[in-house]
Chain A
């Protein structure tokens, strides 16, 4: 510390040589001000010296260090958080911040350059890619896991299986009472995530618009738009007439997942196995997006997430890992 202070002083004096000459040529009144100036410079440089030497002592320069921000999909926010925690155990000098908000939020942040990695439960739209390119961001798509979208109802609801057609009629408001589907005489309350959610977009394309290009069908206006998957679980658990959808990772005993069929009589429950062999009709890839090829600590983290440690975390939180062999072994 003492050495640092002295080193700082010497540096200040050397740097003051020029201004000294200036003061000599001018009136004495400058002296006072220069004194003040010199004092602050000394304090500053002492501070800098201390801080710099402090850092140099703590970190091995060969070790990776830095900051990675990931933002986006609420579907995988928990899996990402766990992956990040594991990652930070291995690389203590890299700090990974994980934020949710919805796939739209992540993609918008990538375009606005406020995040290194955007997580998304849907593909980027052509319009978004165009907007990104316009701002000098070149999105690179990486599939990190697969997920099934589960449809949940209250435990007291006798309905336990629905076709995609049924779901379409429910969420577009054509079917409004459970009695029409052979259930109780109860008004159907449809729950959805906010428009920023990737699951919302996926569900809209596959169920509301039945994958038809150019379809202009919308969610029924009566659909409640809730801000989190947890809020959907809460409402479905409390309300006998409610139906909602969410990523498989959010399934719990508090609600009942219905079996879903694309063709009549081929009903499948949302399980890892059914997503892997693609028999469950509502499954989709989950993505990471980076600006160009990931580099530096971002690359380190992406590789970690795709590696065995990261994929185990994804599996533990209810998703299907990308390596098929890894999935089959389970």
Chain B
């Protein structure tokens, strides 16, 4: 393109353009010389870029927190913190509206608790099998299958929950409806399994070989070695896996929105319909007008959720660090 422009019928321009070309040519041929110098300048630049990207991540987390805090604080100007956190009624469109988060919080806790009760034994068991018992070819197949499990979109699981698991549980347990906490817990357990299996398996594999050899040397059977030596040594890693699994389950939205029935009742049992924090945000955010009470209330729900996942991830991190030591 520059050549085209320099051949235009403008005498003064033509002359100057030619000058430019001369100017650029020697510069091009000298390129090898400042290479070392460029490296000397380049390295710190790249270092800075990397540092910057690290800082950007920190800034994002911080900004998200500030944003949540700012908009939830607007709610607390009209409603007391006690009223919101411990209020037992969530009636966002009534007059006057009530924004008690407690039933949603309890709903989330119920679903998460049962999901973890179901998936931790299963996940750790599977990890033990993959890490210690399974022959090599089977191990590879299982590992990739676990990865595929992680790749199933949650909306697909939710759909299966509505048309198959819900009706199945209803007829099995004689429930009044299949849209209940248990359906959600089972599907969430299924979703948390890959996380728990792969992190526990890493922890089990990471147990030093000498422990195993010592146990066998003392005449322990394979089961005794696995159960009394390897599992306790990997316990920090397994706790971390559980914590990350909980984080995954608490934050999951689509499945619970689709299958738990979303009744904003204070749940007494897992076999009852219930409403979680995430489903509330997803189900209601579309209809709120920016700047309304309901809008701020959803931000407050988000803040509660953020606090929970932050704490859980923090604990998981502590255990992971201990596991590495």
Contact = CB atoms under 8 A, between A and B. Distances in A.
Given A35-B2, A42-B1, A13 B8 contact: yes
Interface stretch (A88-96, A235-243, A257-265, A312-320): A235-243
B13 interface: yes
Interface string B142-183: 000000000000000000001100110010000011110000
Given A31-B23, A187-B176, A224-B263, A108 B289 contact: yes
Nearest to A197: B287
Interface of A is mostly: helix
Interface in A57-113: 101-105, 107-108, 111-112
Nearest to A109: B286
A131 interface: yes
Interface string B280-303: 000110111110100000000000
Interface residues of B, number: 45
Nearest to B163: A234
Interface of A: 9, 12-13, 20, 23-24, 28, 31-32, 34-35, 38-39, 42-43, 101-105, 107-108, 111-112, 128, 131, 186-187, 189, 194-196, 201, 216, 218, 221-227, 231, 234-235, 238-239, 241-242
Given A9-B4, A224-B179, A231-B162, 17 more contacts: A13-B8, A23-B16, A24-B16, A32-B20, A32-B23, A105-B287, A107-B287, A108-B288, A108-B289, A112-B290, A189-B176, A196-B284, A216-B95, A226-B261, A226-B262, A227-B283, A234-B162
Interface of B: 1-2, 4-5, 8, 10, 13, 16, 19-20, 23-24, 27, 91-95, 162-163, 166-167, 170, 176-179, 257-258, 261-266, 273, 275, 283-284, 286-290, 292
Nearest to A28: B23
Contacts of B261: 224-226
Most buried by B among A28, A35, A102, A223: A35
A189 B177 contact: yes
A234 B159 CA distance: 11
A241 B176 contact: yes
A22 to B, nearest CB: 13
